[in-house]
Structure 1
Amino acid sequence: MDTVRSDPEARRQQAQPGSSPNRWMLGSPLGKLASTEGSTRIRLLEILLLPALFLLVGYGLSPQDPLWVHAEFPWAWLAPIVVALRYGALGGLGASTVLLAGWAVFHGADWLHFPQLYFLGGFITVLVVGEFSSLWRHKTRRAELAQHYLDQRLEHLVRQYYLLRLSHDRLEQELIGRPMSMRDALRHLQTGDDPQKAPLRLLQLLGEYCQISSASLFAVTHDLVHPDALAQLGTPKAPQLQDPLIRQALDTLRLCHVAQTADGAGLSSHYLIAAPLLDLSGTPFALLVVEEMPFYALQDENLQVINLLLHYYCDGLSSHALAQPIVQAYPECPESFAVELQRLSHMQAIAGLDSTLVVLEFSDEAIAHHYPQQILRMRRMLDEHWLMQSPQGRQMLAVLMPLGNASSAEGFLQRIELLLSPKSKQTLQAFGIAPRVFSLGQHPPLALLQHLDGLLHA
């Protein structure tokens, strides 16, 4: 991991604005000669001194012809050519002006014998070389900027990858400590046909999902806690029924933990968490007390999950009474559908966990092809279905998806399309099926069913 962190730093040092991919060459003598970085004063000195140096050398070797005008090769023009390669055409013209001034000095401004072709050819050569230099310096600058941008992007990707690895490791640790999803937890609360084992099954689920290692469940009657536990997890000690955390939980009818007890009572409490179990009227009938759990598990998210599972468990114990308002209004509604609709609505109100209701309207042609029955056979483990029928023969299928969102509904509809047309991939409308998606967080249960009944009998 240290290597991942050091790479961006190295690239950042190499990718500063104005740096070159071959920056290592700039430390060598040849690189220093080829470098064009420097102040304006140094550039002017190079433009003036380099051709002057050639003039002095030419005067020392050939006093009669210091500019080598009549020689086989005009060596004096090497100075403006080199300057033009380094600084472009403008610098080359400045160096050429120095040669022109040198000719005037050495020949006494004898313009009648001025070598026009000599200077014309030299000026043209310098301009061509300067233009070539400017073009390649522009291309090099663009390449450096592109390289700098790519280095920045690579550094950003490396950092994102590093954060992704940290996030992945964090998720792995959470999954190790919490091996099941919320949907699995709700399914465990739904299963089981022995009411006597329900309290123990609740504690086992809390121990597995919320990492509780020692807890007890006591019955409560008229705000009095019975000393005999209904179920125990781990090896709890003798109950302390007058514990301040227990009294605060029964007084407030809410889940309490040691960090939020009033007047510092949590310092003298024997328990970490105390949570009452309420019936539909809001009266406590049982009390959960937690003695031991990992320190890192005592956080807001875990406490919210415990509260959520307790409410879901309490709604399951009063399932018949919970479904009565819906069953009385719509006698043809399955009781299991009505109970789950009410439980998920309470879950959304308590914890903000939304669920989705997918409604499929079938045309007469779709009903004739028995599409409703085919879709019913696709039932997932936790979903609830209600095939609604009107006296006129219209049919609608309501699919309740616990803890589902818009993406879950879209995936469900895509599976239906794949079932009906595995090769042609036609839409549901082509089969005479009109889908509708509703969120329980935006529609109360009775209002939602009233809207569906209106669609069915429209």
Structure 2
Amino acid sequence: MLAIGYTINPEDPLLISQDILFLLIPISIIVLFYGLLNGLVSIAIITIVMFAFYGKINHDIFLKVLVLVFVLGKFHEIWSYALKKSQTEKELLLSRFNELGTRYYALKTSHDQMELNYVLNPTSLRRIIMELIKSHETDKGTYDSMISLISRVYNIQKMSVCVFENDVCKLCVSSSDKDVTLAKEDPLVEQAIETGSPVYISQHVEAETPYLAAIPMMDNNKLGAILLIEEMPFISFNEDNLISISFIFDFFYENINKVSIVKKSKIMQEFAFEFRFEYIRLYTLEKKFNIDSSILIFKTNSKLSSHRVIETISSLKRGLDTYSNIEHNGVFITLLMTPLSIISSAEVVKEKVISSLDDETNETLTSSIFNISQHDIIREFMGLKDDR
């Protein structure tokens, strides 16, 4: 802008003597795209130019530009926040759908595997997953357990896993006793990291590589971990087994991150692990970005009524909803969490649940709806102590 202005009129590089104040155009673009701080830097540069070329500051123009910068700076802040909030909601939905897809495939593969070879190998994928969940002690011990299980079930003779943090390899474990060093320049490893999806030797027939397959796990578009298969019998090296291994690794990596998040928090310790993780995630999103989520709570002194409520909720809940129940001092409490929904939306779900129950059950029920940010009130309504 200064160069253009100087070319047009060397004595008036800011073009402030024109009928239209062209100076506002680049200032507006800078502030809208890059924020208030960059706008203030631009004002500082303009002030220096005014001193250098005009010998004084034009206070009228200076104040106009300053007011514009503050107004557009606030707009940039609001718009950036709205974009970040929208992106976070999208990531949450994608994460939940991926979790549901992984669980569905795990169950399907478990049943298929049990039907095919239960007599010879009575270990289902579902059982493997449960063993992995129970083995979370230390990182090395956990990954050792995973390698041992996958090697045993899929007859893999040699494999390894490398875990990354901020693009730096912090841990490598192997099915052998030898130390593992990841060669990122390997064609299979390189393509797996670039694409974020599994790569097999059949895709690189002529490549010189010690690996048969490289299966990466991406975390926010960064490499979180990679599983490398080096030796595996030809009869076991097939598409179905490789897909199953990929899903086990996916579930495992996702689950160990969940455990890490839940262990760091003390809230809702009375409830099931999956429910706690989802509660912590939605509670954190509400605090950071004001993303609304609601919780329906049903209380009753009758065990039969509680059973009917749980049956009704399990049949009516939507794909992203999560529920859990506990008994506290003789009171049966059931919670239904509805992500990304305001209280009025949760009211519709509540009415469906109540209308599906018989009058006898409804007479024993006490129910209420809360925003997930009302953690203290939620605990008080359930008769539980503050856990923060």
Q: Taking structure 2 as the reference length, what is the TM-score of the superposition?
A: 0.41
- The structure with the greater share of residues assigned to helix is 1
Q: Which has the larger radius of gyration?
A: 1
